Amino acid sequence: MHYHIPVTSTPKHAPILLVHGGAWAIPADAAAAHLAGVRNALETGHTILARGGSALDAVEAAVTVLEDDPIFDAGRGSFLTSDGRVQLDALLMDGGRMKAGGVACVERLRNPIQAARLVLEKSPHVYFVGSGAEQFAHSHGMALIDNAELVLDRERERLTHAQAREAAGLADLTFSGHILHDDKSPETAFLHDPARFASHDTVGAVALDAHGNLAAATSTGGTLNKPPGRVGDSSLIGCGCYADNLSAAVSLTGWGEPIMKLVLGKWATDRVAGGTAPEIAAREAISYLYSRLGGHGGIILLGPDGRFGLAHNTPAMAWGVATPNGLQTGLTV
């Protein structure tokens, strides 16, 4: 029998952290807040990596910052369910130990990514949902809060608007700051797709630490006006998040159902394991998402050798990369 022992103790890698704050048509008046948010997350996660901390700690810390920032669809400030509540999903994965932890449909946790970490560390299982997930987290020290603490007036208004348009049978084809061009590109198709308002701002991070270990984390409030109990790609292993030292670490954002049907995170990491460079595999994954199912979204993908790729077929994706050479953020790649 052949055993693989992952490298866990030889400090030989330059640490790298990538984060995203969602792929969609980020309006001009929200651009600065998105860039500031991904920079804050980068700084927090990179500080951990720079002092020799683990990739898992770095992605958890980075995503916690993004969950705490109300500009993103994760944690407080997330989109609301059709009955006006916040329901959160999150997953993180340690590619060195091949351990994962996920939670879905939690309503009383401020930071679902921290509950996912508890599942990874404290449970023989991988995935908890609903009140069972909340009770598991609470039994390991996490505070249970009132769901109203996660709900913003901004989101109540957004839900009211979406439900009024749905009731009127309207697909909203206007969007601030964007001109709809008459071409056949995925970006233009996105702007004509009524689902775009429900497909943004999921957050995520992938990291490689100095010991050569990969980790990934993804967290979301899901889609606007979703029925209670709906779970998207973000917290499903191999869909919106995956990490394995033998392939790559990945986090995705976008309309979840097509990503789930393609198990797109695992698809992308398998490509890297097969020899495709992450910068190519990232673009191929988003092309596949669109060509196979007409899906829209974005991806960050990091290989065990430190090569990485970012791609999206939406008009924008908030992203950031931290390497020993410095921090970089942007809204398109």
* Residues taking part in catalysis: 202
Region of residue 213 (phi > 0: left; psi between -120 and 50: alpha; otherwise: beta)? beta
> Which residue stretch of 157-165, 176-184, 233-241, 308-316 sits at the interface with ligand GLY (rule: CB under 6 A)?
233-241
The type of residue at 333 is V
Helix 112-122 crosses helix 130-139 at what angle (to 10 degrees)?
70
Site string for ligand GLY, 249-268 (x = CB under 6 A): ----xxxx------------
> Which residue stretch of 34-42, 61-69, 121-129, 219-227 sits at the interface with ligand GLY (rule: CB under 6 A)?
219-227
Rounded to whole angstroms, how far apart are CA atoms 266 and 238? 5
Nearer residue to ligand GLY within complex by CB, 96 or 221: 221
Rounded to whole angstroms, how far apart are CA atoms 267 and 272? 9
Whole-number minimum distance, CB 22 to ligand GLY, in Å? 8
Tokens (6 digits) for 230: 């709906």
37, 95, 96, 222: which one binds ligand GLY (CB under 6 A):
222
Whole-number minimum distance, CB 287 to ligand GLY, in Å? 18
- Contacts of ligand GLY in 183-212 (CB under 6 A): 202
Q: Note whether 309 binds ligand GLY by CB under 6 A.
A: no
Whole-number minimum distance, CB 297 to ligand GLY, in Å? 7
What are residue 101's phi and psi, to 5 degrees?
-145, 135
Contact predicate 74/203, CB 8 Å: yes
- Contacts of ligand GLY in 19-48 (CB under 6 A): none
Cβ-proximal residues to 245 (8 Å cutoff; 6+ apart), any chain: 6, 7, 95, 96, 212, 213, 214, 304
36 class by beta-carbon count within 10 Å (0-12 exposed, 13-18 middle, 19+ buried) = middle
Rounded to whole angstroms, how far apart are CA atoms 210 and 216? 15
> Which residue stretch of 43-51, 129-137, 230-238, 316-324 sits at the interface with ligand GLY (rule: CB under 6 A)?
230-238
53, 95, 212, 232: which one binds ligand GLY (CB under 6 A):
232
119, 233, 248, 281: which one binds ligand GLY (CB under 6 A):
233
What are residue 39's phi and psi, to 5 degrees?
-65, -45
234, 251, 269, 313: which one binds ligand GLY (CB under 6 A):
234
Sites of contact with ligand GLY (CB under 6 A) = 202, 220, 222-223, 232-234, 240, 253-256
